[in-house]
Amino acid sequence: MKIILFLIFTLNIFYAAEVNSTLYEGDRTALSIYYAQMKQEIEQTIIMDEAQNERLQNEKILLSKLQELIQYQAKPFILENTFNGKKEISIEDFLKLFNNIAKISTKKETTKENQLMVQDKLAFLKNRIENILESKKENLKLYQLQFAYYKLLQRKNKALLEKASISIESGTNLLYTHLYKVKFNSNSYLLELETLDEALKEMDTKFIALNLAKEREALSSETISTQLKLKLENNIKHKNKYLKKSFDTLLLLAFYEYQEKNIDLFLEKKKLMKNTLNKLLKKDNGLYKAKYLLIKELANQQLNATDYFMLTIKETFQTLYSTLNTYLNEPLFVYDEKPILAINIFKALIIFLVGFVIAKIYHRQFIKLHNRRKDISTVLIKVIANLGFSIIFLISLFMAITSMGLSLANLAVIAGALSIGVGFALRSVVANYIAGILIMSEKNIKIGHFIRVDDLRAGKVLDIGLRATVIRTIDNTHIIIPNSDLTDKSVLNLAFEDKIRRIYVPFKIPYGSDIKMVRSLIIDAVMSSDIKLLRDVYGKKPNVWMRNLGESFIELDLFVWVEGYRPSSKSNLLILIHETLLKNNIQMPYPQLDLHLKKTKSSAILDKNILGSAIRKL
C-alpha cells in the first residue's frame, strides 16, 4: 500500500500542472497573435452546458484584457512648469505644482498597495494551478489566463511606479529651487487660522449637542429620525471641509517659517498639520498625507542636517512623552471599585524589581561572609541568607501590591482560597522545605560528609539547600536529592563523628586447607602491602575471622580499618588475597556435588530399561 501511495505521489510531482509563462512572456506581436489564436479556438468550441458557456465567456473577457495590457505603455506624469524665467512666482502657481506632486504621490502609494494585493493573488493562483484536481482540469485554462492577467498588471504597475518616482523627484526639486520666489503673507494666514479654529470649536459643540439628541431619541423611541441623521452627516462633512482648509493654511504658514529659517515654528506647524491630518475623513486622508510627507521631505533636504536632526529628536521625545504619559494615566481595569492605572502597575514593577535586586545583593554578601569568617557554620550562613532573601522578597511584593492601591486585606481572602489548592499542589515542595530546616538545625548531615541514601545515591555533600541537597559521587556526577528523602529514609553517614571505619572482605578456601596458615599468610600480606589502612593502632589491626562452614568451602572474612571513604580499598584487598593464595598453592574452591548410587532390589527392574543399562555401563 505504501509503495502504491509513493508511486501516486511521484506521478503527481512529474505530471502536475505548471504556470504557462508563454501567456505573458515575449514581445507584443507574438503575444497578440497567441491571444487571437486562443480566442478563435474558444469560439469554435462546441458548448455542452451552461457552466462551460460561462467559463468560455470569462476566458474571452480575460483574453481581451490581456490584449489591452500588452498594448499599454507607461507615460510620464505631466507637471506644468511655469516658473522658468520668473523672478516672482504666485502662491496659486506654486500650490498648483505642489498639489499635482501630492496627487502623483497618492497615486504611487495606491499603486504600491495594489502591487501587494496582485502578488497575493499570483501566489494563490500559482498554488491553485500546480495543485489542481483532476475533476477541476476544465478550469485550468481560466486560472492560467487569470495568472497572466495579474502578471501583466504587475508589470504595468511597476512601470507606473517608475514614472511616478521620476516625476515626483523632478517636481520636488523644482519646488525647492523656486520656493524663495514666492511671497507668503503670514498675518492673513494666522487670522484665517483663528477663524477656522473658532468654527471648528463651534462644530464640535454642535456635534456634542447632536449626539445628546441622538441618545435621547434612542432612549425614548429606540429609533433616530432621518432629520437628525442628516444633521449629523452635514456636521461631519462641514467639519472635514474646515479641517482641510485648516491644513492648507498651516501648510502656507510652514512655507513661510521655512523661508524665514524659523525652524522651531516650522516644526510646530508640521506637528499641527499631523494632528489635523489624523482628524480628516479616510477618503481625504491619502492626498493630505502626501502633502504632509512632501513638507516633511522639504525639511529633510533643505534645512541644516544637524539642526534639523536635533530638533526632530526633541520633537519625537516630546511626542513620545506626551503619548506615554496619556497611556500610563489611563485605567487599564477596575478592581474592587478602584481603577488600576498603567503607571501604578509600572511603579509596582519597579518596586518589585528593586526589592528583588536588594534581596539578591543581601544573599550574595552573606555567602561571601563565609569566605572571610571560617569560624561561622556554612549551614548557618545559608539559612540566614535564604531567610533574609525571602523576607526582603515578600516585603517588596507587599509594597508593590499596595502601591497599586490594592488592599492586602482583600487579597488575603483570595490568597486563603488559593492556598487550599496550592497547598495540595505544593505539598511535596513544602515537605522538602521543612525537611531542609530540620537537616540544618539537627546538623546530622553537614557539607563535606560522605553519605549513602541507597545503592545508587552515595557521595560527598556539596550543598544543603532549603529544598534539596547536592552530593557528588565518586564518578564525579552530581545528584540532587530532595530533603524529604534524607529525613524519611535511613541515611548512612560515613563521616558523622569518626572518619575511621571497618570494611569486610569475604573470601573462601577449600576444605582440607590449614586455616591458621591461611590466616597468617593473609594478615602478613596485608601488613606488608602499600594499601592505605590502619596497621599499628591498638584494637584496629587487620584480622581474619571464620564466618561459616559451607557445603563446598570454608568462608572467611578479612576485616581492616580504613580512614575516610575509599571505594578502591575492597578491590585492592581482594586482588591481594587472590595473589597470596595462588602464590602459596592454595586452590580457589568451587561448588562440588557427590552422587552416590545405592544398589537395591529395584535394580533388576532398572536393568530392563535403556536408562538402567546405560547407567550400569557407566
Task: Look up cell 523632478; give the residue.
Answer: 170
The pLDDT, as a whole number, for residue 245 is 92
Cβ pair 487, 542 in contact under 8 A: no
Least confident range from 90-99, 508-517, 590-599: namely: 590-599
30-64 pLDDT, tens digit each: 888 988 898 888 888 888 888 888 888 998 898 89
Q: What is the DSSP string of 298-344?
A: HHHHHS-HHHHHHHHHHHHHHHHHHHHHHHHTSEEEEETTEEEEHHH
**Helix, strand, coil content of the chain in percent (nearest 5):** 65, 10, 25
The rounded distance, in Å, linking the Cα atoms of 126 and 19 is 7
List the domain boundaries for the chain.
2-165, 184-328, 341-425, 430-493, 498-618
3-class DSSP state of 435: helix
Residue 354 has pLDDT above 80, yes or no: yes
The rounded distance, in Å, linking the Cα atoms of 467 and 428 is 10
Torsion sign across C-alpha atoms 237, 240, 245, 248:
negative
The pLDDT, as a whole number, for residue 6 is 36
Summarize the confidence of residues 130-148 as an average pLDDT: 85
7 pLDDT band, cuts 50/70/90, is very low
The pLDDT, as a whole number, for residue 311 is 58
Q: Which CATH number is 498-618 given?
A: 3.30.70.100
Summarize the confidence of residues 287-316 as an average pLDDT: 70
466-482 pLDDT, tens digit each: 788 888 887 788 888 88
Least confident range from 102-106, 257-261, 272-276, 321-325: namely: 321-325
Least confident range from 230-234, 304-308, 401-405: namely: 304-308
Q: Classify strands 450-452 and 468-472 as parallel, antiparallel or unpaired.
A: unpaired
What are the backbone dihedrals phi and psi of residue 470, each rounded to the nearest 5 degrees, phi first? -105, 130
Q: Compare 536 and 607 and report the one with higher pLDDT.
A: 536
Residue 582 has pLDDT above 50, yes or no: yes
The pLDDT, as a whole number, for residue 530 is 84
The rounded distance, in Å, linking the Cα atoms of 243 and 544 is 110
Q: Classify strands 458-464 and 468-472 as parallel, antiparallel or unpaired.
A: antiparallel
Q: What percent of the chain has pLDDT over 70?
A: 82
Summarize the confidence of residues 587-594 as an average pLDDT: 76
Instruction: Identify which of 589, 560, 554, 591 has the alpha carbon closest to the alpha carbon of residue 576.
Output: 560
Instruction: Identify which of 241, 239, 247, 262 has the alpha carbon closest to the alpha carbon of residue 193.
Output: 247
Model's pTM, two decimal places?
A: 0.50
Cell triple for 190: 494666522
Cβ pair 449, 439 in contact under 8 A: no
The pLDDT, as a whole number, for residue 283 is 78
The rounded distance, in Å, linking the Cα atoms of 228 and 241 is 20
Instruction: Identify which of 439, 426, 429 has the alpha carbon closest to the alpha carbon of residue 487.
Output: 439
Q: Compare 354 and 3 and report the one with higher pLDDT.
A: 354
The pLDDT, as a whole number, for residue 373 is 60
In what side-by-side order are the strands of the sheet with 554-563?
500-509, 554-563, 543-549
Domain 341-425 has CATH 1.10.287.1260: yes
The pLDDT, as a whole number, for residue 343 is 80
The pLDDT, as a whole number, for residue 550 is 82
Residue 356 has pLDDT above 50, yes or no: yes
Residue 256 has pLDDT above 80, yes or no: yes
The pLDDT, as a whole number, for residue 489 is 82
Residue 615 has pLDDT above 70, yes or no: no
Residues 6+ apart with CB under 8 A from 293: 105
| Distances from the Cα of 141 to the Cα of 39, 62, 129, 294, 517, angstroms | 12, 11, 9, 46, 106
Instruction: Identify which of 342, 364, 360, 348 has the alpha carbon closest to the alpha carbon of residue 396.
Output: 348
Q: What percent of the chain has pLDDT over 90?
A: 4
Instruction: Identify which of 68, 69, 63 has the alpha carbon closest to the alpha carbon of residue 34.
Output: 63
Residue 613 has pLDDT above 80, yes or no: no
Q: What is the DSSP string of 457-512?
A: -EEEEEEE-SSEEEEE-TTS-EEEEEHHHHHHS--EETTSS-SEEEEEEEEEE-TT
Q: What's the topology of domain 430-493?
A: SH3 type barrels. (2.30.30)
521-547 pLDDT, tens digit each: 888 888 888 888 888 878 788 888 888
404-422 pLDDT, tens digit each: 766 666 556 556 655 666 5
Q: Compare 84 and 145 and report the one with higher pLDDT.
A: 145
Cβ pair 563, 534 in contact under 8 A: yes
